[in-house]
Each structure stands twice: as structure tokens, then as C-alpha cells.
Amino acid sequence: MATRYFVVQNIWTMPTHRVIAQRGLRVRPAPNTNNTPLGALPLNTEVYVLSGPTNGWCEVRAALIDGVLQGWASAEYLEPIATAAPEPEPAWLTTARGEIGVREYPGADHNPRILEYHDHTGLNASTDEVAWCSAFANWVMDQNGIDGTNSAAARSWAGWGQAIAEPRLGCIVVFKRYDPNNPNAGHVAFYNTRRGNRIEVLGGNQGNQVRLNSYPAEDLIGYRWPNI
């Protein structure tokens, strides 16, 4: 599992612990059960322990897709993360992060940046309403001097590069996508982390924009790494 960084007291910090509660771990506003939980952290969520354990409780902070969750959790269901140095972020993932926020235009107008993504596949689509997750992946790789698939089909990435059994930060992730009109539908994006039974990725055409989103692990087709 790739290590994710997040901000604690204005410093980019590595998570220190991982949730091992099979059904998730409740986070509370105080170190006791006499209060309503603020939320819950899925199995394998990485957290930073701010303080503790004290009387069986730790104050934790977790970076989630929809924001930061901070509060108190049972120390029993947290395990330390190995302290090996984190894998550096590959250049292409840095490029992809720089595009976060690019989104489709409403109505008849089309975002020229997305049309630029389309220019990096053989389809050369002329609207931002054509599925563009693979176009985005091809554009990102091209910016870094790496050959993509030149295809607008997400599943074209299932045979690209080399297969890897375990995900690496920034690797290509190919998912199944269920479309009754297209048995070959799929989605492609760049691996960020895994949270329980969901895989978080950075990609294009995720909610009609470039953003982080998560997908069910059961829809995974495979992880791919460039031949470099």
C-alpha cells in the first residue's frame, strides 16, 4: 500500500498507524464512549496519531476523500505502520495532480484543456462530453515522455506496460465499469491509496473533472507500471 501524506500542524506528515477494526473504527470527540461518534474509519485507513495512548484511547487525524476527520479512537484497533521510507511520487503523478480541478463546461461549450487531452488518442474527440479518462491518462504520460496507448478506451491500459501484483503510488489502475450498452466499458486512473474495500485514484472524468475518487476493489482489472 502506498503511503499518503497529509497536513498536521502545517507540516506534511506520514501516517503513523493503520486501522485494523474489521467493521471500521469509530472516531469520537472525547476519549470515552459517552458521546456521539464524529464518523468512522474503514479497515486499513491510515491515520496520524496526535497523542496517546491514554487510558486506551488515541487522538487521531485521518485524511479522507471528503475532508479530514480528527478525534479519539480506541488504541486497540490501531497498529503502527512500518517506518520504511515512503516511495517517492513519480513525475507523471505530479503532472496529474497539477490538473486537479479541470472540469467539463456546462452547456454547448467545451473545456479546451479536455480537448487537448483528447488530442492524445486516435479518437480525437471534439467535445468534453466524450468519456475522457483514457485521454487524460495518455496526455499525462505523453507530458512525461512515456508512450501511452493512444486509445480512448479505458481497458486499452489493461495490456499496457507491465502487470504488477501490488499497487505502487502512481501506477495505472484499470477498473470494470458496468454499462448495459457496452460490455467493454471501463475506467482508468492513477493509484493513490486503498481504504478498506475501496481503491482511491486520481483521474480524469471522475465526476466530470480531474479529481480524487474511490472505486470498489471488486471492480479492479489490474495494476500496470510503465516499461521504464
> Residue range 102-106: average pLDDT?
96
DSSP 146: -
Instruction: Domains for the chain: give ranges and CATH numbers.
Output: 6-80 (2.30.30.40), 91-225 (3.90.1720)
Residue carrying C-alpha cell 472516531: 27
Diameter of the chain by CA atoms?
Answer: 61
Question: pLDDT tens across 147-170, in order?
Answer: 999 999 999 999 999 999 999 999
Say if strands 57-64 and 220-225 run parallel, antiparallel, or are unpaired.
Answer: unpaired
Distance CA 50, CA 146 (A): 41
Q: Is 109 helix (H, G, I), strand (E, B) or coil?
A: coil
Higher pLDDT, 210 or 54: 210
Mean pLDDT of 75-94: 84
Q: Tell me how crowded residue 190 is: count the other CB atoms within 10 A of its CB.
A: 23
Which has the higher per-residue pLDDT, 4 or 225? Answer: 225
57-82 per-position pLDDT tens digit: 999 998 887 778 999 999 999 999 87
pLDDT at 152: 97
- CA–chain centroid gap for 197, Å, is 13
pLDDT computed for residue 13 by the predictor:
58
User: Cell digits for 146?
Assistant: 512515456
Average pLDDT over residues 141-152: 98
Question: How many angstroms separate the CA atoms of 73 and 9, rounded?
Answer: 20
In 3D, which of 155, 190, 159 has the Cα closest to residue 173? 190
Percent of the chain whose pLDDT exceeds 70 = 93
Res. 8: pLDDT tops 80: no
If you average pLDDT over every residue of the chain, what do you get? 90
Distance CA 217, CA 175 (A): 9
pLDDT in tens, 12-52: 457 889 999 988 999 999 999 999 999 999 988 989 999 88
Q: Write down the pLDDT at residue 81.
A: 83
Report which residue type is found at 200: E
* pLDDT for 84: 57
Whether pTM > 0.75 for this model: the answer is no
Decide if pLDDT at 1 tops 70.
Answer: no
